[in-house]
Structure 1
């Protein structure tokens, strides 16, 4: 659903990080998409960019054509995302010996998507609370050793994946313009990724968070801000019939949320010692690698649009 990188000047797959790396089974000669800086200097993107863009477009089209014929179909998309993401997160935690309560979290996570769409915030909160209780009880079978680590991983997974994801359902469930609110959310967040990606690899010089994600730059962040604000103003005025300044506020809020979301994902993977969460999408990595910005931006967009429109 997102573009090839994060919203702040490039993911950890940027040229500096990947130019000398080869993945498992790689020959080191995979096709790379080459861009050029203003002075003519070539810049390797570190991935097959056309394949990455095509993968994102296919997934985006799947979402688009599910929400306009019948918005409730989007619950199936989000439910599938919960299950795929749950598998990736569980494998990541398992690499450090932590046991996530997969069954109650998967069942409860899917139920939360339906609860958010058909029942609203009250049903969502109730379902999330019940899922948390069952997940805690589920771990009682394992005894005392590792209890705190396991339940912490389960609660993190509950909040980070199905709960944040369910805010997408709250957006599309709006009685008058739900589909357009969801499209606005996706377009503005993707615009952060696009602006940050190209500004970062073409102009990026000054590191933004070298300890957490060394290839993110302030120039890339500036590209994200510009892309988000422009997309926000256009989407709010053209699709939601709101004032342009609401779109600018939305864009600023999204770029901050998307940047934080990407940094959270980077820190999560670095702490667990993994590069990618999975191989779900060609040219993109795992599903969780691609929705990191969207997960954090979702509730922010819902709050901004609820308060200002």
Structure 2
């Protein structure tokens, strides 16, 4: 089941990026909707009253804005979405007695709404912003390939040789040996993709691989820290064998912003 789910997501991603760019908006919009709902639900489990419907609406709105209106749309709609989530929460305070609380708790709720918008919608929208550029779909695909290859390298190397824990208080399963395997895989993939996919010299591929390796690792650790703080193993169980959508895209969120920055620098 885990392989079937992974294969289905991968094929949908490839089709949308390679054949019809506009379809990637649909793919990204669905992922953003589920991921925003998951994270908002997990934070509600921790006692933060985030309006999930508002969070999903605001998060999804960032996707077409980033595709059609580029960076200006991305920024303005993200900020507008934050205000929308805030207003929804404040209306709940006024009209729903069960959703009221202290000023401090309401401020925490508003802060959590900002977190969902920035962590999920804003970071994920960089893949849409990148895909919308001329030839940007290949940079998006290259970034995602490096993320996946890095994850596979870390898993294989850590399983075979892992002894020294990287961050035991955050993610006990991560080892420095696994990180070394991820680095080798990411650098190799970055160089090959630079030469044969995004038409760049090998040294750009080296930089590309190292940067995405760093952001993917930090993204994975960040989500592990969130789950540890919330006291949960997976954000959700919607994807059999994979956990939740956020469990699958955590490494790609920071990497999306990094990939867009590298595109602007080198393309």
TM-score calculated relative to the size of structure 1 = 0.81
| TM-superposed deviation, 1:144 | 5.3
The reply on whether 1:117 has 2:75 as its aligned counterpart is: no
The reply on whether 1:100 has 2:50 as its aligned counterpart is: yes
Q: Give the aligned partner of residue 209 of structure 1.
A: 167
| TM-superposed deviation, 1:55 | 2.5
The reply on whether 1:234 has 2:184 as its aligned counterpart is: no
The reply on whether 1:161 has 2:90 as its aligned counterpart is: no
Bigger RCO of structures 1 and 2 (CA < 8 A, at least 6 apart)? 1
Selected match of 1:148 from 80, 100, 107: 107
Q: Greater share of helix residues, 1 or 2?
A: 2
Gap runs ≥5 in structure 2: 94-99
Cα displacement string for residues 79-115 of structure 1 (whole angstroms, at most 9, x for unaligned residues): 1112111221122111111111323322221111001
Cα displacement string for residues 16-52 of structure 1 (whole angstroms, at most 9, x for unaligned residues): xxxxxxxxxxxxxxxxxxxxxxxxxxxxxxxxxxx43
| TM-superposed deviation, 1:224 | 0.7
| TM-superposed deviation, 1:68 | 2.3
Q: Give the aligned partner of residue 21 of structure 2.
A: 71
Selected match of 2:235 from 257, 277, 289: 277
Rounded Cα–Cα distance in structure 1 between residues aligned with 2:48 and 2:130: 33
Q: Give the count of matched residue pairs.
A: 258
Rounded Cα–Cα distance in structure 2 between residues aligned with 1:190 and 1:53: 14
Rounded Cα–Cα distance in structure 2 between residues aligned with 1:171 and 1:264: 23
Gap runs ≥5 in structure 1: 1-50
5 Å-filtered alignment, 1:130-279, equals 130-141=80-91, 142=93, 143=100, 145=102, 146-175=105-134, 177-279=135-237
Q: Give the aligned partner of residue 46 of structure 1.
A: none
Rounded Cα–Cα distance in structure 2 between residues aligned with 1:241 and 1:300: 18
TM-score calculated relative to the size of structure 2 = 0.93
| TM-superposed deviation, 1:305 | 2.0
